[in-house]
Amino acid sequence: MKGLSVNTRGLSKIYGQGRTAVRALEDVNLKIDAGEFIAAMGPSGSGKTTLLNLVGALDRPSAGEVRIGEVEITELTERSLHLVRRHQVGFIFQAFFLVPTLSARENVLLPTLPVGNTTAYERRADELLRLVGLNGRAHRRPSELSAGEQQRVAIARALIMDPGLILGDEPTGNLDSRTGGEVLQLLQRLSQEMGKTFLVATHDPRIARRSDRIVYLRDGQLSPVPTVDITGEY
């Protein structure tokens, strides 16, 4: 699947009620074209992860709309949202979230289990492991892989269902500088070669500088001016 556009309108999220309510996101209007590589930046608590969770159908907004491609997802049933998460969105997390008892190949194949672990998916898993530079590591468990290799497995897993939108939450956050740079180069190459849309929440200035566009958040709102410094090295 080629990249999918993303459009949010009046997107807001409030946690709790009354005096203890926390407004995590407020009236966010964001347009991402299909195939763009977007970096979302801002201080801790600015709403980056909340934005990813709402765009990725992991959470429902308190107000507003999210459109992925031609589908407005905020009013979908839970079953329909599950299908969106399975087929249209791939997730890359800071903590990798690999199953320690499974091999790299088996971890990549995990999203395919509900639809049947077919020979075609097995071939695709092998192709993706080669694509992310893990040829020969398919049968290693996470404990036998470096942090960078584990994140490459997680990237391959995010791509196994061929989604049009890839969401990354601090994908280089648990990596040293050199390994983080290698993962960044991989993400850029995948974006260019596969035409996927990327929305990446990050503190890494290298991701920001190499993205197509940066969106800045502060206190749950989009900011017209930079909220972090991206001139320094990671």
Listed in sequence order, the residues at least 6 apart from 95 whose beta carbon sits closer than 8 Å to its beta carbon are 174
Query: Could you tell me the domains of the chain?
Result: 6-223 (3.40.50.300)
- Model pTM? 0.93
Measure the CA–CA gap between 34 and 165, rounded to whole angstroms. 9
Q: Output the CA torsion sign for 116, 120, 122, 127.
A: negative
Round to whole Å and give the CA distance between 54 and 60.
Answer: 6
Each of the 234 residues of the chain gets a pLDDT tens digit; together they read 889 999 999 999 999 988 889 999 999 999 999 999 999 999 989 999 999 999 999 999 999 999 999 999 998 999 999 999 999 999 999 999 999 999 999 999 999 998 876 899 999 999 999 999 998 999 999 999 999 999 999 999 999 999 999 999 999 988 998 999 999 999 998 998 999 999 999 988 888 888 999 999 999 999 988 877 776 543
Residue 9: CB partners within 8 Å, gap ≥ 6?
29, 64, 65, 67
User: Do the beta carbons of residue 212 and residue 38 sit within 8 Å?
Assistant: yes
Contacting residues for 105 by C-beta, under 8 A, at least 6 apart: 122, 125, 126, 129, 138, 139
